[in-house]
Structure 1
Amino acid sequence: MTRLRAATESDAGPVIAIWQACDLTRPWNDPRADFARALNHSASTIIVAEQGPDIVGTAMTGFDGHRGWIYYLGVAPDRRGQGIARQLLDHACDWLKLRGCPKVELMLREGNPAAELYKHLGWELQPVRVFARWLA
């Protein structure tokens, strides 16, 4: 059985391990800082999926007042195919709905094979390009 809950500071190690196992981290982003910022901000959370004592999935979500966003959605490679990603996405959407969020989006790097999963779950590819600028 899979149980979903909000992450706590003590979950940083296992959550980041899943992010790394799912190839979600990048050298220019400090995953520990990302984890801490999400937990310490009222407009974001990290949801974890547990099976027994193990964290087997994670999703970071936040609401900027206009859109909800989901980041770092990952399921441990040996636990895929059990519906955990769907549960995490649904839980993240429910968290956002409770905050009055009208629409949720997620970003996926080119070539990420999870694109097929999102299509299967009813997510629609959007015709947008993302621009970025470092503030630090």
Structure 2
Amino acid sequence: MTDLRIRAATPDDLDAVLAFWKAAAEGTSISDDRSGVERLVARDPGALLLAERDGELVGTVIAGFDGWRCHLYRLAVRPDQRRQGVGSALLAGAEERFAALGGRRADAMVLNRNELAHHAWHAAGYAPQPQWSRWVKPLAD
């Protein structure tokens, strides 16, 4: 295996990313469609980070920054590549991006039922915040 490469997604990557999420990500979102991901990449070209090994997509994370707080979404690693440093490398890339943008605090959206992810986030230094709950309202079908 060659070294892992972390890079920002381009519009040419979007179909591969959507197919990857169907195979490697737990659950789906109403914004997991081409137009949703196109808007993300157009608005914030550095936000969608990809991990590639031997030219193949093996992981993703969305590292969004709204000017005040840093937000992490869609950390996903191909099942046969898990526990090989892919998620850690993606989070390191996201945190470097946040530091360069002046971000000082990051939060992650993690499904309650995804206990495997809970362990991974904890190992990366993130902790649940029981005093907060996330309230969500879908704005589109």
2:138 maps to which residue?
134
Q: Deviations over 1:75-124 (max 9, x none)?
A: 11111111000000010011111111110110111111210111122111
| Number of equivalences | 136
Q: Deviations over 1:10-51 (max 9, x none)?
A: 111221222112234526333323311210113861111111
CA contact (8 A) 2:18 2:32 kept: no
CA contact (8 A) 1:43 1:62 kept: no
Aligned-residue identity in percent: 32
CA contact (8 A) 1:25 1:31 kept: no
CA contact (8 A) 1:57 1:74 kept: yes
* Root-mean-square deviation over aligned CA pairs: 1.7
Q: 1:25 to 1:11 in 2, by over 3 A?
A: farther
* Structure 2 unaligned regions, length at least 5: none
Q: Which amino acid aligns with 1:116?
A: H
Q: After the TM superposition, which parts of structure 1 deviate over 4 Å for at least 4 consecutive aligned residues? A: none
CA contact (8 A) 1:43 1:63 kept: no
Aligned counterparts of 1:133 and 1:106: Cα–Cα separation in 2: 17
Q: Which amino acid aligns with 1:125?
A: P
Aligned counterparts of 2:133 and 2:33: Cα–Cα separation in 1: 24
2:63 maps to which residue?
61
Q: Which amino acid aligns with 2:126?
A: W
2:21 maps to which residue?
19
CA contact (8 A) 1:44 1:63 kept: no
Aligned counterparts of 1:21 and 1:44: Cα–Cα separation in 2: 23
CA contact (8 A) 2:8 2:46 kept: no
1:28 maps to which residue?
30
Aligned counterparts of 1:42 and 1:23: Cα–Cα separation in 2: 22
* Structure 1 unaligned regions, length at least 5: none
Aligned counterparts of 2:70 and 2:107: Cα–Cα separation in 1: 6
2:97 to 95, 98, 101: 95
1:40 aligned counterpart, secondary structure:
helix
Q: Which amino acid aligns with 1:16?
A: L
